[in-house]
């Protein structure tokens, strides 16, 4: 479990949800293509709080996350997204344990 995960909680401005989803999609496609083509990213919508979304994605290392965040394309895209938001909270996460399909628990 060497991966680092990034996560964000995004609160879209009322009525701007579709614009936010499209802007996040463009950001995620750029991120995958430019910084980690072997990885994926997810955007999840909160079923109980309209306009609240959570994004998650694995990275191969902390250095890869730092390079992504330092890229001018990151700041440009995040700036466009922030204009559509009432709130944003970012996290950089390291796995503690994982449960596999077999029920096996893997921990650090």
Return the domain boundaries, the chain: 4-107
Q: Which residues pair with 106 in a beta bridge?
A: 98
Single pTM value for the model: 0.88
The three-state secondary structure class of 98 is: strand
Query: Above 60 in pLDDT, residue 1?
Result: no
Most confident of 5-14, 37-46, 95-104: 5-14
15-24 confidence digits (pLDDT tens): 999 999 999 9
CATH code matching the domain that covers 4-107, chosen among 3.20.20.80, 3.40.50.2300, 3.30.70.100, 3.40.50.300: 3.30.70.100
Q: Read off the pLDDT band of 106 (50, 70, 90).
A: confident
| Dihedral sign (CA 97, 103, 32, 76) | negative
């Amino acid at each position: 479990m060497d991966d680092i995960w990034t996560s964000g909680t995004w609160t879209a401005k009322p009525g701007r949800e579709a614009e936010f989803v499209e802007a996040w999609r463009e950001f995620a496609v750029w991120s995958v293509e430019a910084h980690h083509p072997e990885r994926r990213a997810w955007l999840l919508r909160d079923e109980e709080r309209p306009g609240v979304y959570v994004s998650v994605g694995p990275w191969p290392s902390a250095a890869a996350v730092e390079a992504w965040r330092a890229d001018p394309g990151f700041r440009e895209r995040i700036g466009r997204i922030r204009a559509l938001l009432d709130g944003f909270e970012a996290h950089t996460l390291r796995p503690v344990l994982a449960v596999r399909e077999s029920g096996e628990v893997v921990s650090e």
